[in-house]
Amino acid sequence: MITTTSDLAQKLRQAGYKLTGSRLAVIEVLETHPEHLDHNQILAAGKKIYPHLSRATVYRTMELLVELDLFRPLYLSDPTQRFISASGGHHHLVCSKCGAIFEFENCHADQLSRELAEKYNFEIRSHLLEFQGICQNCR
């Protein structure tokens, strides 16, 4: 099981929340799975770490992490709510025919972020960039 010294665990503790076995299991899942997980996937992976993890705890923990601006909900090509870290940038190409999702790293939005922050005196902490289109297989 993840230690209480993980980044997310420390942030929860600093915000005054207890680090229960259930919360630590959710944190471990989030910190060890790079994909965009939904509640059910977090629950299934978390039960392997902490068998007593409940669906309600997963929902409450994710709600708390969103409230603390540590994670944010993400809706891609389906209505399922998934979660991503709220820090940094996140970039996708989404096929509107088959729903395929392609992540990409090389994004030039950082320069735009700096310009917008300066122009509007706004502290930008993260961004989400999504392009909708048709993938190679669907064309």
pLDDT(105) > 80 = no
CATH T-level fold of 87-133 = Dna Ligase; domain 1 (3.30.1490)
Q: What would the pLDDT profile of 31-53 be if each residue is shown by its tens digit?
A: 998 788 999 999 999 999 999 99
pLDDT band of 102, cuts 50, 70, 90:
confident
pLDDT of 2 strictly over 70: no
Domain boundaries, the chain: 7-74, 87-133
The dihedral sign for the CA sequence 83, 86, 88, 91: positive
Query: What average pLDDT score do residues 51-79 get?
Result: 88
Q: Which fold would CATH assign to domain 7-74?
A: Arc Repressor Mutant, subunit A (1.10.10)
Q: What is the model's pTM? A: 0.74
